[in-house]
Amino acid sequence: MRHFTAAELQAYLQTVSKKKAPAPLLLDVREPWEYEHCHLDGSKLIPMRQIPDHAAQLDPAQETVVICHHGIRSRQVAQYLESLGFTNLINLTGGVEAWAIDIAPSMKRY
Protein backbone atom coordinates (compact mmCIF):
# COMPACT_ATOMS: atom_id res chain seq x y z
CA MET A 1 0.00 0.00 0.00
CA ARG A 2 1.16 3.47 -0.87
CA HIS A 3 0.29 6.59 1.11
CA PHE A 4 -0.37 9.92 -0.63
CA THR A 5 -0.90 13.30 0.94
CA ALA A 6 -3.67 15.43 -0.53
CA ALA A 7 -1.14 17.40 -2.58
CA GLU A 8 0.49 14.21 -3.87
CA LEU A 9 -2.90 12.76 -4.84
CA GLN A 10 -3.92 15.94 -6.63
CA ALA A 11 -0.67 15.98 -8.61
CA TYR A 12 -1.01 12.27 -9.38
CA LEU A 13 -4.60 12.65 -10.61
CA GLN A 14 -3.54 15.55 -12.83
CA THR A 15 -0.71 13.46 -14.29
CA VAL A 16 -3.04 10.54 -14.96
CA SER A 17 -5.52 12.88 -16.64
CA LYS A 18 -2.84 14.50 -18.85
CA LYS A 19 -1.57 11.11 -19.95
CA LYS A 20 -5.15 10.00 -20.57
CA ALA A 21 -4.37 6.94 -18.47
CA PRO A 22 -7.11 5.07 -16.63
CA ALA A 23 -8.08 6.98 -13.50
CA PRO A 24 -7.86 5.14 -10.20
CA LEU A 25 -11.02 4.21 -8.37
CA LEU A 26 -11.62 6.76 -5.60
CA LEU A 27 -13.17 4.56 -2.92
CA ASP A 28 -14.77 6.55 -0.10
CA VAL A 29 -15.37 4.37 2.95
CA ARG A 30 -17.13 6.92 5.17
CA GLU A 31 -20.78 6.83 6.18
CA PRO A 32 -23.43 8.13 3.76
CA TRP A 33 -24.08 11.25 5.83
CA GLU A 34 -20.37 12.11 5.70
CA TYR A 35 -20.25 11.56 1.95
CA GLU A 36 -23.33 13.74 1.43
CA HIS A 37 -21.67 16.52 3.42
CA CYS A 38 -18.52 16.52 1.28
CA HIS A 39 -16.59 14.20 -1.01
CA LEU A 40 -14.05 14.14 -3.80
CA ASP A 41 -15.64 14.41 -7.23
CA GLY A 42 -15.91 11.05 -8.94
CA SER A 43 -15.55 9.01 -5.76
CA LYS A 44 -17.57 5.86 -5.10
CA LEU A 45 -19.12 5.38 -1.67
CA ILE A 46 -18.93 2.00 0.02
CA PRO A 47 -19.05 2.48 3.80
CA MET A 48 -16.37 0.65 5.74
CA ARG A 49 -18.88 -1.73 7.36
CA GLN A 50 -20.07 -2.80 3.89
CA ILE A 51 -16.64 -3.49 2.39
CA PRO A 52 -16.66 -7.24 3.21
CA ASP A 53 -19.98 -7.61 1.35
CA HIS A 54 -18.84 -5.57 -1.67
CA ALA A 55 -15.15 -6.46 -2.00
CA ALA A 56 -15.92 -9.12 -4.63
CA GLN A 57 -17.40 -6.37 -6.85
CA LEU A 58 -14.07 -4.48 -6.85
CA ASP A 59 -11.14 -5.29 -9.14
CA PRO A 60 -8.14 -6.41 -7.03
CA ALA A 61 -5.73 -5.20 -9.74
CA GLN A 62 -7.33 -1.79 -10.30
CA GLU A 63 -5.51 1.12 -8.78
CA THR A 64 -7.71 2.20 -5.87
CA VAL A 65 -7.40 5.26 -3.65
CA VAL A 66 -9.11 4.61 -0.32
CA ILE A 67 -10.54 7.72 1.34
CA CYS A 68 -12.12 8.56 4.69
CA HIS A 69 -12.29 11.59 6.98
CA HIS A 70 -8.76 11.56 8.44
CA GLY A 71 -7.06 8.55 6.82
CA ILE A 72 -7.46 6.02 9.62
CA ARG A 73 -10.51 4.05 8.43
CA SER A 74 -9.17 4.15 4.88
CA ARG A 75 -5.86 2.67 6.01
CA GLN A 76 -7.73 -0.13 7.81
CA VAL A 77 -9.85 -0.84 4.73
CA ALA A 78 -6.75 -0.84 2.51
CA GLN A 79 -5.06 -3.32 4.85
CA TYR A 80 -8.17 -5.52 4.71
CA LEU A 81 -8.26 -5.34 0.92
CA GLU A 82 -4.55 -6.23 0.81
CA SER A 83 -5.35 -9.33 2.84
CA LEU A 84 -7.81 -10.27 0.08
CA GLY A 85 -5.13 -9.95 -2.60
CA PHE A 86 -5.60 -6.35 -3.75
CA THR A 87 -2.23 -5.15 -5.01
CA ASN A 88 -2.60 -1.54 -6.13
CA LEU A 89 -3.86 0.48 -3.17
CA ILE A 90 -3.26 4.07 -2.12
CA ASN A 91 -4.36 5.49 1.23
CA LEU A 92 -5.19 9.22 1.28
CA THR A 93 -3.26 10.34 4.35
CA GLY A 94 -5.29 12.92 6.23
CA GLY A 95 -8.45 12.04 4.29
CA VAL A 96 -11.00 14.53 3.02
CA GLU A 97 -10.08 16.83 5.89
CA ALA A 98 -6.57 17.26 4.46
CA TRP A 99 -8.04 17.59 0.96
CA ALA A 100 -10.31 20.41 2.14
CA ILE A 101 -7.48 22.22 3.92
CA ASP A 102 -4.75 21.78 1.30
CA ILE A 103 -6.56 21.50 -2.03
CA ALA A 104 -10.18 22.67 -1.84
CA PRO A 105 -10.64 25.33 0.85
CA SER A 106 -14.24 25.90 -0.26
CA MET A 107 -15.12 22.26 0.49
CA LYS A 108 -17.42 21.80 3.47
CA ARG A 109 -15.70 20.41 6.55
CA TYR A 110 -16.95 18.67 9.66
* Strands in 1-110 per DSSP E: 2-4, 25-28, 44-45, 64-67, 89-92
Pick the catalytic residue from 9, 25, 51, 68. 68
Determine whether 38 is an active site residue: no
| Residue 17: other Cβ atoms inside 10 A | 10
Reduced to 3 states, what is the DSSP secondary structure of residue 89?
strand
Active site residues: 68
